[in-house]
Amino acid sequence: MSGYFSVMEKQGFEELLFGHDASTGLKAVIAIHSTILGPALGGTRMWPYPAEEAAVEDAMRLARGMTYKAAMADRNLGGGKAVILGDPCRHKSERLLRAYGRFVDKLGGRYITAEDMGIGEKDLDWVRQETAHVLGDSSQGSPSPFTAYGVWRGIKASARAALGSDSLRGLTVAVQGLGNVGGKLCAYLAREGARLIVADLDPEKVKEAVSRWPAKAVAPEEIYAQECDIFAPCAAGGVINEKTLPQLKCRIVAGSANNVLQDRAWGAELMKRGILYAPDYVINAGGLIYVDSMRLGLKDPAEIRRVVGRIEDRLAQIFKRSAAESLPPEAVADLMAEERLQSGAKAATSETQA
């Protein structure tokens, strides 16, 4: 346990909570990174982790990313994340999710949950039966279309910075992952006239993509080596690593996946190779903006898309500062997020002293 405290201190975590319910088999971890700007918001992921330590590491990494995502999206929210250990296809049940809802409710609103891998809108309906601290259930709709819209706008900003134009017509985009976000992103790209290369672990999703759009299908392990203008990772994290980076034949890496870089060092390596990287927690913030808009009572889709569209301008600022300061874009994004967090901390201190 001392190892976890060391990481918490080093990375600025506030809380790391473990929940267990013997009657349902629930084993869950909630990581709250920061509540400086507001309550910690972050989805719940259900996954058959190979070890408990891997689950905790994933929760902490994702929670920290949510803090930075909320700060860069200019939302009054902190960062948190939850993981449930188990196979969502075999172990998920109403009783388990309601037990998880009671776990969330004990935090009194310090943590607000939403959907993530393995947890969908209907699952959140069961969670909501035990706690009000839920966003993105079936009564509110999925945030995925707004995430995809934001990624599309972010890809346009990336193309402008790296290729001199925000038009995607005629460009080749390799999309890894055709789930709720990746599939919708393909629709935006195809509508604009981009050529698609697609890969997914589910052959049915690939088959559907090829039938809907002029897309070339490749095996999942082949997607990295495709000749393309843009590589769009929209599945699991850590896909830019020692093995995959040398295979890349693109000018831009920009997609919806969280924690795209397995290690921060790979961001600097991308920059050395002349590959522009759109920081993941900036470009994929559309879903966060959507669920927070629901929380604040803003339900007009057109207005929410307008706010999500600011991702394009935000990335343009990051790329401009990156070029001026010779820093990788993700380092610039971190600096900008930390500047907002520091400003929020100072404001909180001033209010307390007053």
Residues 163, 194: Cα–Cα separation, whole Å? 14
Residue with tokens 């909570």: 17
CB contact at 8 A, 279 and 333: yes
CB contact at 8 A, 75 and 95: no
The neighbouring-strand residues paired with 198 are: 175, 217
| Strand pairing category for 111-114 and 40-47 | parallel
Catalytic pick among 10, 27, 69, 81: 81
Q: Which helix (H) or strand (E) holds 277?
A: strand 276-277
Q: Is 81 a catalytic residue?
A: yes
Other C-beta atoms closer than 10 Å to the C-beta of 286 total: 29
Q: Which helix (H) or strand (E) holds 159?
A: helix 144-163
| Strand pairing category for 26-34 and 15-21 | antiparallel
CB contact at 8 A, 262 and 122: no
3-state secondary structure of 278: coil
- What residues are labeled active site? 81
